[in-house]
């Protein structure tokens, strides 16, 4: 349904679609397609953001309603620090509390670590039956989509597709799994410009099946960070979801 007064409906169509996406009027199928475009097309993503800004003004007419005093303590409990509070720890912790349900999982994980102080704890079983897990990593600065990954829990195949080149001059991009119990696990250096594919080792593939998120840090060229501790800045991250 293009505006008949417009000679070139192309950009207008994109703009209207971005508006429909921001307004959330699309059907589930249309919305999925538009979200995919938002992730892969920065100009379109910027349109969606512009619409969000314009439309949010509608909220001015919404009357505020004080939440129950129980809400804040629940939030506070979920963001309690594990240790000290520098920015990087804050970041990882932030991911670790992504879902309150994960708290229980983290207790189990701690128990496993205590019971079996082996160097590589038995990975929690990934869902059986060939689950594909996907994530879109967005840049920490600006939130533009940077990398899409897809992971097959049965074969251990990991597909990594950068959508915008990660500032490679500042360092070598390294991919990390964010574990449900907190903390991170290094997968390795990745190609920040071209799509690539690798098969994860057995130890890693279990963790990739349960990780809550993935992140990319930029590490100094020629160095390899400790497997659980990035040394460089985290430049992109995204939640892992089941396809």
Partner 1 sequence: MAAMLTRDELAGALVQAGQGDRSAFRIVYEATSAKLLGVCLRILPDRQTAEDVLQDTYLTVWRKAESFDPSRASPITWLVTIARNRSIDRLRSAAPMRRAVPVEDAHDLADDAALASETIEQADEVGRLNTCLEQLEDKARGVIRTAFLEGVTYDALAQRENVPLGTMKSWIRRGLMRLRSCLET
User: Where along the sequence are the contacts to partner 1 (CB under 8 A)?
Assistant: 1, 3, 12, 15-16, 19-20, 23-28, 49, 51-68, 70-72, 74-76, 78-79, 81, 85-87, 89-91, 93-95, 97-98, 100, 138-143
* Least distance in angstroms from the C-beta of 88 to partner 1: 8
* Least distance in angstroms from the C-beta of 209 to partner 1: 22
Q: Which is nearer to partner 1, 12 or 191 (CB)?
A: 12
Q: Which is nearer to partner 1, 97 or 184 (CB)?
A: 97
Q: Which is nearer to partner 1, 93 or 133 (CB)?
A: 93
* Least distance in angstroms from the C-beta of 91 to partner 1: 6
- CA 64 to chain CA centroid, nearest Å: 31
* Three-point CA angle 42, 45, 51, nearest 5°: 145
Q: Which is nearer to partner 1, 2 or 155 (CB)?
A: 2
Q: Which is nearer to partner 1, 8 or 202 (CB)?
A: 8
* Least distance in angstroms from the C-beta of 224 to partner 1: 25
* Least distance in angstroms from the C-beta of 190 to partner 1: 21
Using H for helix, E for strand and C for coil, what is the string for the chain? CCCCCCCCHHHHHHHHHHHHHHHCCCCHHHHHHHHHHHHHCHHHHHHHHHHHHHHHHHHHHCCCCCCCCCHHHHHHHHCCCCCCCCHHHHHHHHHHCCCCCHHHHHHHHHHHHHHCCCCCCCCCCCCCCCCEEEEEEEECCCCCEEEEEEEECCCCEEEEEECCCCCHHHCEEEEEEECCCCCEEEEEECCCCCCEEEECCHHHHHHHHHCCEEEEEEECCCCCCCCCCCCCCEEEEEECEEC
Q: Which is nearer to partner 1, 11 or 188 (CB)?
A: 11
* Least distance in angstroms from the C-beta of 168 to partner 1: 21
| C-alpha to C-alpha distance for 98 and 159, rounded to whole angstroms | 24
């Amino acid at each position: 349904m293009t505006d008949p007064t417009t000679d070139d409906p192309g950009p207008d169509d994109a703009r209207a679609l971005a508006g429909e996406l921001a307004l959330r009027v699309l059907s589930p199928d249309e919305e999925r397609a538009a979200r995919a475009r938002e992730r892969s097309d920065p100009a379109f993503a910027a349109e969606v953001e512009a619409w969000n800004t314009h439309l949010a003004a509608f909220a001015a007419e919404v009357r505020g309603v004080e939440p129950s005093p129980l809400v804040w303590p629940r939030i506070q409990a979920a963001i309690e620090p594990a240790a000290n509070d520098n920015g990087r720890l804050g970041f990882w912790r932030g991911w670790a509390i992504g879902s309150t349900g994960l708290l229980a999982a983290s207790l189990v994980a701690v128990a496993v670590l205590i019971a079996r102080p082996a160097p590589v704890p038995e990975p929690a079983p990934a869902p059986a039956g060939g689950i594909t897990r996907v994530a879109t990593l967005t840049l920490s600065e600006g939130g533009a989509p940077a990398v899409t990954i897809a992971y097959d829990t049965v074969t251990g195949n990991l597909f990594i597709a950068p959508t915008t080149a990660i500032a490679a001059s500042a360092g070598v991009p390294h991919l990390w799994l964010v574990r449900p119990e907190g903390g991170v696990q290094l997968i390795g250096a990745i190609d920040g410009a071209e799509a690539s594919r690798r098969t994860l080792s057995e130890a890693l593939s279990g963790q990739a099946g349960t990780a809550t998120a993935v992140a990319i840090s930029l590490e100094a060229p020629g160095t390899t960070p400790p497997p659980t501790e990035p040394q460089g800045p985290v430049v992109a991250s995204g939640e892992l979801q089941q396809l």
